Amino acid sequence: MKLIVEQEGELLDYLYNHLDMPKKRVKQYLTHGSIYVNNNKTTKYNERVIPGMTIIIAGDKGNTKELPFEILFEDAHIVVVNKPSGLLTIATEKEKERTLYHMVREYLVGKDKRARIFIVHRLDKDTSGIVIFAKDEKTKNQLQEHWNEYVSLREYVAVVHGNVKKDSDRIVQTLKETKTNLVYVSRKKDDGKEAITNYEVLKRTDDYSLLKITIETGRKNQIRVALATINHPIVGDKKYSNLKETENRLYLHANRLKLYYPEIKKDILFETSTPTEFKKIMK
């Protein structure tokens, strides 16, 4: 179910007034993570909504006819989607079903009961943007085995705290991970994995900077760590920022991915628009 917000207010009140269903049911949708505002999953009753925003309500068991987020490309071998912030790519011990993988699988099985789906790569739970799934094992193996060779561009857009002085920079770090899954910069180059992050400033305000980011490596949390270590953490990053974060999402979005697609023997560029929240905070 899809709604376009027509008046400003709090999410729960807006849903009460515009959905023909019991209030208890509306609260269940929010509690179970089935509500998406501008493609971002939310469980907050008091989240502010403004005219023009999109609200999507996904079914408890996964919507087999329509996904609550954008499908960028689909053919017989792959499906490319625009992952919302706050949604795991694949299952963990704590969360088995409310994942991007599960939702895309339910969508495909709804069209063909024999459908299969395979992970090609992933994004952090808090990062939104482009994710590719394979529909057969041969395609999955081909893309994974040649990922670094096939992918020629991985571009992100981010909003960070502060006015970044350098117009552009290349950040080279050696990263390690603690037992509690926290990534940090190692002082020894041979003690960890090399991570290379490039950024370019697109826009500045007194409080924030909008960055275009490309990565030469694909390390866990590398963009978040790189920007935090130059004292410009990503807005909404409660894991690596020392600042008080009040935003309800991480302002990091994978907006462009270019790869060689062996099925057509050509490069293909997948693109998404900059999230509405990013544009709003930079005004």
Q: What confidence tens digit (pLDDT) does each residue in 210-258 have?
A: 999 999 999 999 999 999 999 999 999 999 999 988 888 999 999 999 9
Split into its structural domains, the chain has a count of 3
Find the mean pLDDT for residues 155-176. Answer: 97
Q: Is the pLDDT of residue 166 over 70?
A: yes
Same domain, 81 and 140: yes
Higher-confidence position of 86 and 189: 86
Find the mean pLDDT for residues 111-137. Answer: 94
Chain mean pLDDT for the chain: 90
Same domain, 105 and 133: yes
Note whether residue 280 is domain-resident.
no
Note whether residue 104 is domain-resident.
yes
Domain that holds residue 110: 62-145
Q: Looking at residue 17, which CATH number applies to its domain?
A: 3.10.290.10
Q: Looking at residue 71, which CATH number applies to its domain?
A: 3.30.2350.10
Residue 59: the pLDDT is: 55
Q: Is the pLDDT of residue 159 over 90?
A: yes
Note whether residue 117 is domain-resident.
yes
Give yes or no for a contact between 184 and 214, defined as CB atoms under 8 angstroms apart.
no
Note whether residue 134 is domain-resident.
yes
Active-site annotation, residues: 124
Same domain, 2 and 87: no
Whole-number percent of the chain with pLDDT over 70 = 94
Note whether residue 264 is domain-resident.
no
Give yes or no for a contact between 164 and 201, defined as CB atoms under 8 angstroms apart.
yes
Question: pLDDT tens digits, residue range 35-90?
Answer: 888 878 888 889 888 888 888 887 544 444 568 888 899 999 999 999 999 999 99
Same domain, 129 and 177: no
Question: pLDDT tens digits, residue range 7-32?
Answer: 888 999 998 888 767 777 788 788 77
Residue 111: the pLDDT is: 85
